[in-house]
Amino acid sequence: MVLSLSSHNVIQYLQDAGLCSSEDGAANESELPDSKNCNLLVTLADNRKLLVKQERSINNDGMPHEFFNEWLFHQLLQQFPVLGNISAIASLVLHFDEENSILVRNYLNDYLELGRVYHRNDIFPLEIASAIGTTLAGLHRATFNRREYSDFMATAPQGQFRYGYYNPAQGIGSISPEIFGTVPTDALKFYVLYQRYESLESAIADLANEWQPCCLTHNDLKLNNILVHSRWEQLDNCLVRLIDWEACSWGDPAFDLGTLLASYLEIWLSSLVVDPTIELEESLHLAMTPLEVLQPSIVALIRAYLNAFPMILEYRRDFILRVIQFAGLALIHQIQDMITCRKYFDNADICMLQVAKSLLTMPEQSVLTIFGISESEIFKTVGNFHKVPQPEKEQQVLRIYYEKTRLRGC
């Protein structure tokens, strides 16, 4: 029987696991909000803090495995010290209980969630964005095309098999009649609009078909999964940490950057002035946090990434365009998550869907819109980069798709 953790038994569990002694005691325990898992923050008597996480949901095979990837990532850093030396991604995991799906890690008192920092101060320092780009590039560069790391990440949970890596470039799954009992009537409009755009589904299918896993990726790189030191302004180096590696796998680096870009765009899109009488273009320009305010940080992030990992441009000549497309896909997933968790879909979400569609179906035109500069201007500051000649354009031939094209993950 799976042990269910709560504030009443978490201290005893930690003692039994050897993570604290009866002499340590505990100052307090508090539950942190999380829609999927049980998160308990335990403060021990010596002021040390531990975050204890337990998965609530169970997979189709009856076994909880959500935290296995984070534990596997921790083991990877232990097995290959070269990766462990990348301080920004150094694992904080102390304990993993696979049977009860419990994971314990150190809690960083001196760090703040980047999403809250941005929301509270309404400023977007270039130093932070550059530090994130450099950190993420360091992870991708260090693991790029390294077979030993790829093989290690192919390890499966006990009793399971992995035949390949999950392809995250997925659209909305097939809609069944059961949706009418779980989704509010207003939110059904999202699925109606999504299915109306053949070009949108075709673009996602192409993105999935061209997915090329080549390095270790975080796969859930939202602003709230990035921590920044509370005194970053006083430090010589702007310290950032990437946390919550539950979704990490061998993947496509453009997916990480696209997901991160979408988080910045959500700040803009969530501040829109939305009214049925206002056209979309006008609404986008009336945002409380204009895109122009975010663009310097977005450009600083992508330039820092490319300067630290210029080789990716030789590996994928269309890297920037794929980042743009993955950002659009991340926005669509964000809308679906809001419908699932918060049970609503409004005019602001319709605007987000329209922007996501543009990013996915017209990435070339979207580069200037999102970054505020052209692709060639982004590359100007990238060192050690020689632009790879583009192949001649293919003859304009009508592409044929099966009706409602969807490509499932591997």
The string of DSSP letters for 208-262 reads HHT----EEE-S---GGGEEEETTGGGSSS--EEE---TT-EEE-HHHHHHHHHH
pLDDT at residue 151 greater than cutoff 60: yes
Mean pLDDT computed over 277-298: 86
Name the class of domain 111-379.
alpha beta
pLDDT at 380: 87
| 13-42 pLDDT per residue, tens | 998 998 887 766 555 666 666 657 788 999
Name the class of domain 10-106.
alpha beta
Least confident of 149-153, 374-378, 403-407: 403-407
Strand order from edge to edge, sheet including 26-32: 26-32, 37-44, 49-55, 102-106, 93-97
Burial annotation 211-250 (CB, 10 A radius, 16+ → b, else e): bebbbbbbbbbbbebbbbbeebeeeeebbbbbbbbbbbbb
Mean pLDDT computed over 312-323: 94
Q: How many CB atoms neighbour CB 156 within 10 A?
A: 12
What does pTM read for this prediction?
Answer: 0.86
d(CA 142, CA 312) in angstroms, rounded, equals 12
d(CA 373, CA 385) in angstroms, rounded, equals 18
Confidence bin at 313 (pLDDT 50/70/90): very high
Q: Give 396 or 100, the one with higher predicted confidence.
A: 100
pLDDT at 191: 78
Task: Report strand pairing: 93-97 vs 49-55.
Answer: unpaired
Say if 10-106 and 111-379 have the same CATH topology.
Answer: no
Decide: helix, strand or coil at residue 111.
strand
pLDDT, the chain, mean: 83
Decide: helix, strand or coil at residue 322.
helix
pLDDT at 178: 65
Mean pLDDT computed over 162-166: 71
Decide: helix, strand or coil at residue 192.
helix
To the nearest 5 percent, what fractions of the chain are helix, strand and coil?
A: 45, 10, 40
Nearest to 228 by CA among 245, 240, 213: 240
Mean pLDDT computed over 37-48: 85
Query: Three-state SS across 17-56?
Result: CCCCCCCCCEEEEEEECCCCEEEEEEEECCCCEEEEEEEC
**What single-letter DSSP state applies at residue 391?**
P
| 230-275 pLDDT per residue, tens | 888 777 666 789 999 989 999 999 999 999 999 999 999 988 877 7
Beta partners for 240? 228
What residues does each domain of the chain span? 10-106, 111-379
Confidence bin at 180 (pLDDT 50/70/90): low
